Amino acid sequence: MTSPVFRPPNRLLSVISNPNAPLFDHLVLKAQQRVATLKPELDVELSDAVDRILAYRSCSEEDLFAECLQIGSQAASIAEIAAFIGREALGKAASGLYDMVELLVERGAWHTGSVMLHLAAIHTLRSAVVEEGAAAATLEQLRQMRLLLARTDAPQ
């Protein structure tokens, strides 16, 4: 007795195997144009997301800790949107904040000061007119701090 094998239809097969199919470069160009049309909406979404996460700067340490998973989720969202629309420095700062929350989840290490510094960096880097050198220096300092904290909190 044989079992039937289900093979879902491959929607790309006709595009890939068609000799008149558009070239890869053309498809990439069309995708980039589509992203450009979405950029204004994504800028608004990014601004709203940054506003939401920056509200945590006024929280007490206890409240900040209690909301850590929500902060991590929001930071990941900011990192994704920022990377998608070319706001690399802002995305990296948000990604670093997500890493700090992951450090808590993985090792039980919580560093309120580091979280607040990442929030301050996000606040500074939200501006589109941050000098590239200053942004790079800030991101490098945050990275070095995370590396130091990860080593300090490593299980012995």
Rg (CA), the chain: 21
C-alpha–C-alpha distance, residues 71 and 56, integer Å: 8
Instruction: Decide if pLDDT at 155 tops 60.
Output: no
Query: What is the CATH code for 23-152?
Result: 1.20.120
pTM, two decimal places: 0.72
Domain boundaries, the chain: 23-152
Q: What is the pLDDT of residues 7-16, one digit of tens each?
A: 888 877 776 6
Tokens coding 12:
């790309």
Q: Which amino acid is at 98?
A: Y
Would you give the DSSP letter of residue 154?
Answer: S
87 and 51 Cβ atoms separated by less than 8 Å: no
